[in-house]
Amino acid sequence: MSKLATVLDTAVTFFKHAIVWMITGLIVLSSGAWSSESALQVAFVYNFIKFIDWPDEAANSSLRLCVLSANKDMHEALDQLNGKSANKHVIELVYLNVETLLSSPVESCQMIYRPTRSSVITLPQPLPKGVVLVINEQEPRDMSASIILIRNNEGRIEFEINQAAVAQAGIKISSQLLKLAKNSQAGKGQL
């Protein structure tokens, strides 16, 4: 294959992925309940679920998305995901607090989303195998976070993928998602 054909093939693949992310963003933003900043963050989380394979997970099983420290807007946006299908799984939304951790320990979650920097819940270090932590930007960065949502200089939401945390979790992230990450060679990590 010639160099030009390879470059064109790479560009077409990248634009296909970008279009999928943009369409998802437009669908999410066109819904009245999903028109906030929180909704945009939740759209990222939903897309992350679609592009991650967890170990030992049967197709068509539920996927527990556990949430720490969500405000009212975030609750409303996240509630749209409960029962929704993604990557052959039905999302089961669980809000974690000190009391619910007794009945729903962190080990029962496939993904934990921490939308705010503050949380009274301390997560175990390292996280159990099969648990993916997604956080909004935090300084210093939580080294157990597999995916970090960040703001670029223009104020757009982007994301980075922490390969060490991904390896610790024992999950497989689609190459399509890896290419879109801000810290990849080709990706911008934005919706």
Average pLDDT across each block of 10 residues of the chain; the chain has 191 residues. List them in order: 53 47 44 66 95 74 89 92 92 83 78 81 86 80 86 89 93 93 60 43
pLDDT at residue number 100: 67
CA 127 → CA 21, 54, 85, 93, 159, distances in Å? 28, 14, 25, 19, 20
Neighbours of 103 (CB within 10 A): 8
Q: What is the pTM (predicted TM-score) of this model? A: 0.76
Domains in the chain (CATH in brackets) are: 3-180 (3.40.50)
pLDDT at residue number 112: 93
Residue 190: phi and psi, rounded to 5, are: -130, 155
Q: Give the integer Cα–Cα distance in Å for 126 and 113.
A: 16
pLDDT at residue number 65: 95
pLDDT at residue number 2: 62
Task: Please give the angle made by the CA atoms of 177, 183 and 186, to the nearest 5 degrees.
Answer: 65
Contacts 24+ apart (CB under 8 A), 118-121: 118/69, 119/68, 119/69, 120/69, 121/68, 121/69, 121/96, 121/97
Which helix H or strand E contains 56, and what residues bound it?
A: none
pLDDT at residue number 9: 55
Q: Give the integer Cα–Cα distance in Å for 189 and 21.
A: 10
pLDDT at residue number 141: 64
Q: Give the integer Cα–Cα distance in Å for 169 and 52.
A: 11
- Kind of pairing between the strands at 157-161 and 89-96: unpaired
Measured in residues, the chain has a length of 191
pLDDT at residue number 57: 62
